[in-house]
Amino acid sequence: MADQPEDSSPREESLGLRMLKTRTVLVSGAVDDKLAEKTIAQLLILDAESHDPIRVMITSQGGHVDSGYAIHDMLRFIESPIITIGAGWVASIAVPILFGAPKERRYSLPNTRFLLHQPSGGAGGQASDIRIEAEEILKLREKLNELIAAETGQDVERVAKDSDRNFWMDAEQAKEYGLIGQVVTSATEID
Protein backbone atom coordinates (compact mmCIF):
# COMPACT_ATOMS: atom_id res chain seq x y z
CA MET A 1 0.00 0.00 0.00
CA ALA A 2 2.55 2.52 -1.17
CA ASP A 3 -0.08 5.07 -2.17
CA GLN A 4 -1.40 6.29 1.16
CA PRO A 5 -3.80 9.23 1.21
CA GLU A 6 -2.09 12.51 1.98
CA ASP A 7 -4.35 13.07 4.98
CA SER A 8 -3.48 9.78 6.69
CA SER A 9 -0.97 9.70 9.51
CA PRO A 10 1.85 7.15 9.84
CA ARG A 11 -0.09 5.63 12.76
CA GLU A 12 -3.19 5.18 10.56
CA GLU A 13 -1.03 3.64 7.81
CA SER A 14 0.53 1.24 10.33
CA LEU A 15 -2.88 0.29 11.70
CA GLY A 16 -4.20 -0.32 8.19
CA LEU A 17 -1.25 -2.54 7.32
CA ARG A 18 -1.62 -4.50 10.55
CA MET A 19 -5.31 -5.06 9.81
CA LEU A 20 -4.47 -6.31 6.32
CA LYS A 21 -1.99 -8.78 7.82
CA THR A 22 -4.90 -10.26 9.81
CA ARG A 23 -7.04 -10.30 6.62
CA THR A 24 -9.42 -7.75 8.14
CA VAL A 25 -10.95 -4.86 6.21
CA LEU A 26 -12.73 -2.00 7.98
CA VAL A 27 -15.68 -0.30 6.27
CA SER A 28 -16.23 2.68 8.55
CA GLY A 29 -17.98 6.00 8.15
CA ALA A 30 -19.85 7.41 5.20
CA VAL A 31 -19.87 5.24 2.09
CA ASP A 32 -18.45 7.28 -0.77
CA ASP A 33 -16.13 6.84 -3.75
CA LYS A 34 -13.02 7.21 -1.58
CA LEU A 35 -14.11 4.50 0.88
CA ALA A 36 -15.15 2.23 -2.01
CA GLU A 37 -11.79 2.65 -3.74
CA LYS A 38 -9.85 1.91 -0.54
CA THR A 39 -12.02 -1.09 0.37
CA ILE A 40 -11.91 -2.59 -3.13
CA ALA A 41 -8.13 -2.18 -3.31
CA GLN A 42 -7.70 -3.93 0.04
CA LEU A 43 -9.99 -6.78 -1.01
CA LEU A 44 -8.14 -7.28 -4.29
CA ILE A 45 -4.75 -7.29 -2.54
CA LEU A 46 -5.89 -9.83 0.05
CA ASP A 47 -7.55 -12.03 -2.58
CA ALA A 48 -4.39 -11.99 -4.71
CA GLU A 49 -2.28 -13.09 -1.72
CA SER A 50 -4.46 -16.10 -0.85
CA HIS A 51 -8.02 -17.36 -0.82
CA ASP A 52 -8.21 -17.59 2.97
CA PRO A 53 -11.27 -15.92 4.54
CA ILE A 54 -11.44 -12.14 4.77
CA ARG A 55 -13.25 -10.46 7.67
CA VAL A 56 -15.05 -7.23 6.85
CA MET A 57 -15.99 -5.10 9.87
CA ILE A 58 -18.81 -2.67 9.05
CA THR A 59 -19.73 0.39 11.08
CA SER A 60 -21.39 2.85 8.73
CA GLN A 61 -24.28 5.24 8.43
CA GLY A 62 -24.51 4.44 4.73
CA GLY A 63 -24.01 6.96 1.98
CA HIS A 64 -23.69 6.85 -1.79
CA VAL A 65 -25.66 3.92 -3.21
CA ASP A 66 -23.41 3.25 -6.20
CA SER A 67 -20.28 3.24 -4.02
CA GLY A 68 -21.98 0.77 -1.69
CA TYR A 69 -22.93 -1.48 -4.58
CA ALA A 70 -19.33 -1.36 -5.84
CA ILE A 71 -18.15 -2.75 -2.48
CA HIS A 72 -21.00 -5.30 -2.38
CA ASP A 73 -20.21 -6.53 -5.89
CA MET A 74 -16.48 -6.84 -5.17
CA LEU A 75 -17.16 -8.85 -2.01
CA ARG A 76 -19.14 -11.25 -4.16
CA PHE A 77 -16.63 -11.17 -7.04
CA ILE A 78 -13.43 -12.24 -5.30
CA GLU A 79 -12.68 -15.88 -4.56
CA SER A 80 -11.82 -15.53 -0.86
CA PRO A 81 -14.70 -16.41 1.48
CA ILE A 82 -16.09 -13.26 3.08
CA ILE A 83 -17.20 -12.86 6.69
CA THR A 84 -19.08 -9.65 7.50
CA ILE A 85 -19.46 -8.32 11.02
CA GLY A 86 -21.72 -5.41 11.94
CA ALA A 87 -20.48 -3.18 14.75
CA GLY A 88 -22.03 0.04 16.01
CA TRP A 89 -24.47 0.63 13.21
CA VAL A 90 -25.14 -0.76 9.77
CA ALA A 91 -27.44 1.66 8.01
CA SER A 92 -28.81 2.29 4.56
CA ILE A 93 -26.39 1.15 1.80
CA ALA A 94 -24.16 -0.44 4.46
CA VAL A 95 -26.79 -3.22 4.68
CA PRO A 96 -26.07 -4.42 1.11
CA ILE A 97 -22.36 -4.32 1.97
CA LEU A 98 -23.17 -6.64 4.88
CA PHE A 99 -24.80 -8.91 2.27
CA GLY A 100 -21.39 -9.40 0.65
CA ALA A 101 -21.26 -12.57 2.75
CA PRO A 102 -23.82 -15.37 2.77
CA LYS A 103 -26.17 -15.33 5.76
CA GLU A 104 -24.28 -18.06 7.64
CA ARG A 105 -21.17 -15.80 7.56
CA ARG A 106 -22.96 -12.56 8.51
CA TYR A 107 -22.50 -11.60 12.15
CA SER A 108 -23.31 -8.72 14.46
CA LEU A 109 -21.99 -7.54 17.77
CA PRO A 110 -24.78 -7.32 20.38
CA ASN A 111 -25.19 -3.53 20.48
CA THR A 112 -25.23 -2.98 16.73
CA ARG A 113 -28.23 -1.19 15.25
CA PHE A 114 -29.50 -1.68 11.72
CA LEU A 115 -31.46 0.75 9.55
CA LEU A 116 -33.48 0.04 6.43
CA HIS A 117 -35.01 2.92 4.49
CA GLN A 118 -35.72 4.00 0.97
CA PRO A 119 -32.98 5.73 -1.00
CA SER A 120 -33.06 9.49 -1.16
CA GLY A 121 -31.65 12.00 -3.56
CA GLY A 122 -31.80 15.60 -4.50
CA ALA A 123 -32.64 16.96 -7.88
CA GLY A 124 -32.82 20.43 -9.22
CA GLY A 125 -33.13 22.04 -12.57
CA GLN A 126 -35.72 21.48 -15.22
CA ALA A 127 -38.86 19.47 -14.55
CA SER A 128 -37.71 16.77 -16.99
CA ASP A 129 -34.43 16.35 -15.06
CA ILE A 130 -36.31 16.10 -11.76
CA ARG A 131 -38.61 13.45 -13.27
CA ILE A 132 -35.62 11.43 -14.53
CA GLU A 133 -33.96 11.60 -11.10
CA ALA A 134 -37.20 10.53 -9.38
CA GLU A 135 -37.54 7.56 -11.74
CA GLU A 136 -33.95 6.50 -11.00
CA ILE A 137 -34.56 6.69 -7.25
CA LEU A 138 -37.65 4.49 -7.65
CA LYS A 139 -35.59 1.96 -9.64
CA LEU A 140 -32.93 1.97 -6.91
CA ARG A 141 -35.59 1.48 -4.26
CA GLU A 142 -37.00 -1.53 -6.10
CA LYS A 143 -33.52 -3.00 -6.61
CA LEU A 144 -32.64 -2.57 -2.91
CA ASN A 145 -35.94 -4.08 -1.79
CA GLU A 146 -35.41 -7.10 -4.05
CA LEU A 147 -31.86 -7.61 -2.71
CA ILE A 148 -32.99 -7.33 0.92
CA ALA A 149 -35.85 -9.76 0.27
CA ALA A 150 -33.56 -12.27 -1.45
CA GLU A 151 -30.95 -12.10 1.34
CA THR A 152 -33.37 -12.23 4.28
CA GLY A 153 -36.15 -14.50 3.06
CA GLN A 154 -38.71 -11.73 3.59
CA ASP A 155 -41.14 -11.04 0.77
CA VAL A 156 -40.57 -7.92 -1.31
CA GLU A 157 -43.87 -6.39 -0.20
CA ARG A 158 -42.88 -6.59 3.47
CA VAL A 159 -39.44 -5.11 2.76
CA ALA A 160 -41.04 -2.29 0.75
CA LYS A 161 -43.45 -1.56 3.60
CA ASP A 162 -40.75 -1.76 6.29
CA SER A 163 -38.30 0.44 4.40
CA ASP A 164 -40.89 3.05 3.39
CA ARG A 165 -39.74 5.02 6.44
CA ASN A 166 -36.76 4.57 8.74
CA PHE A 167 -36.96 1.01 10.08
CA TRP A 168 -34.55 0.42 12.97
CA MET A 169 -33.62 -2.98 14.39
CA ASP A 170 -31.33 -4.08 17.17
CA ALA A 171 -29.04 -7.07 16.66
CA GLU A 172 -31.57 -9.68 17.78
CA GLN A 173 -34.30 -8.17 15.63
CA ALA A 174 -31.89 -8.11 12.67
CA LYS A 175 -31.25 -11.81 13.21
CA GLU A 176 -34.99 -12.54 13.31
CA TYR A 177 -35.49 -10.47 10.15
CA GLY A 178 -32.71 -12.38 8.38
CA LEU A 179 -30.14 -9.61 7.97
CA ILE A 180 -27.56 -11.62 9.92
CA GLY A 181 -27.03 -15.23 10.86
CA GLN A 182 -25.73 -14.79 14.39
CA VAL A 183 -25.14 -12.26 17.16
CA VAL A 184 -21.69 -12.76 18.69
CA THR A 185 -19.94 -11.40 21.76
CA SER A 186 -16.47 -12.78 21.03
CA ALA A 187 -14.28 -13.29 17.96
CA THR A 188 -13.94 -16.93 19.00
CA GLU A 189 -17.62 -17.46 18.09
CA ILE A 190 -16.91 -16.75 14.42
CA ASP A 191 -15.95 -19.72 12.26
Catalytic residue set? 92, 117
Element (DSSP H or E) covering residue 55? strand 54-63
- First vs last C-alpha separation in the chain: 28
In sequence order, what are the beta bridge partners of 115?
91, 168
Nearby residues of 32 by Cβ (< 8 Å), 6 or more positions away: 63, 64, 67
* Rounded Cα distance, 110 and 125, in Å: 45
Query: Could you count the other beta carbons within 10 Å of the beta carbon of residue 123?
Result: 14
What is the spatial distance between Cα 127 and Cα 172, in angstroms, rounded to a whole number? 44
H runs (alpha helix) in the chain: 10-21, 33-49, 65-77, 94-98, 127-152, 156-162, 171-177
How far apart, in whole angstroms, are the C-alpha atoms of residue 124 and residue 130?
6
User: Cα–Cα distance between 114 and 61 in angstroms, integer?
Assistant: 9
